[in-house]
A and B are shown apart, each in its own frame.
Chain A
């Protein structure tokens, strides 16, 4: 399965600032996704990162708050904009392996907003 690297692994940020999370995959993948896991909660899908076009967002998530880039088949970024303490979460990048029909996750980026 694909190997996913996320950076940063964790960060502490100030209210009102923005942070960009990077996701690098060791192979070309068609489908990439971003999930959020709030403290003590399960995972929620934020959006599908589409290569060469705008991301597709799930209900409750908007591009202005979570802009996503997908410049090629191995890389994506998620920005958390104008952060508030409610944005404190683990943000996870994931990729779909069509051959194995498996979704593989990165280790996540733990974000704390003060």
Chain B
């Protein structure tokens, strides 16, 4: 699976959009981009995934660049409950996800 690079931490103001970047320059054509988050002491929670088209669901939007070498997860209106570690994962191996260090997002009032 391709390796991903994420900033180690980000702060975001409550009510504002949070834009989380992820670089995956070695991604191959059949690899998907997945985003998970882990709130302290809980199991990871699925957020969204995509192959090459932008995706949106009730939690977030995923923007994948045309060359697929990077992506951005957008939390449209961050709340305090969005404080978590966010993981960007690239994979074609169903279920066998390689978790990196992720981005610690802190939403402040």
Contact residues of A with B, CB < 8 Å? Answer: 1, 31, 33, 42-45, 48, 92, 94-96, 98, 101-108, 110
Residues of B within 8 A of A42 (CB): 87, 99-102
Interface of A is mostly: strand
- Set of chain B residues within 8 Å of A44, measured between Cβ atoms: 99
Q: How far is the CA of A103 from the CA of B87 in the complex (A)?
A: 13
A42 CA to B100 CA in the complex, in Å?
Answer: 6
Quick one: which of B45, B97, B98 has the most chain A CB within 10 A? B97
Q: Mark B5-36, 1 if CB is under 8 A from A, else 0.
A: 00000000000000000000000000010100
The tally of residues in B whose CB lies under 8 Å from a CB in A reads 19
Residues of B within 8 A of A102 (CB): 46, 49
Which residues from 30 to 62 on chain B have a C-beta closer than 8 Å to any C-beta of chain A? 32, 34, 41-46, 49
Collect the chain A residues with CB atoms within 8 Å of residue B109's CB.
Answer: none
Q: B residues near A, CB below 8 A?
A: 32, 34, 41-46, 49, 87, 94-102
Which of B97, B100, B102 is within 8 Å of A45, CB to CB? B97
Most buried by B among A43, A96, A110: A43
Complex Cα spacing A1 to B42, Å: 17
Partner of A106 from the list B34, B43, B98, B100 (CB cut-off 8 Å) is B43
Q: A31-B95, A42-B99 are in contact. List 7 more A-B contacts (CB 8 A).
A: A1-B46, A42-B100, A92-B43, A94-B95, A101-B49, A103-B97, A106-B43
Question: Contact: B97 with A98, CB < 8 Å?
Answer: no
